[in-house]
Amino acid sequence: MEVTDEISYDYNLEMDVLRWILLTGDEGLLDLLRINLIPAELRSPVAIYLYKSIMMWNHLENKIDCRRILEEFCFIHENCVDFEDSVKAILDILLIKVNLTNYNLHFRNSLDRVLERNWMYKKEKLRIKIISGNTTDEQAIFLAKEFDV
pLDDT of 33 higher than 50: yes
pLDDT band at residue 1 under the 50/70/90 scheme: very low
Which three-class secondary structure state does DSSP give residue 64? coil
When the pLDDT of each residue in the chain is averaged and rounded to a whole number, the result is: 83
Give me the mean pLDDT over the 46-74 stretch: 83
- Read off the DSSP letter of residue 37: -
pTM above 0.85, yes or no: no
Return the number of other C-beta atoms located less than 10 Å from residue 112's C-beta.
12
Distances (CA, A) of 79 to 10, 49, 52, 56, 109: 21, 10, 14, 17, 32
Encode pLDDT of 85-141 as tens digits.
778 888 888 888 888 999 999 999 999 999 999 999 988 888 887 788 787 878 777
Over residues 72-88, mean pLDDT = 69
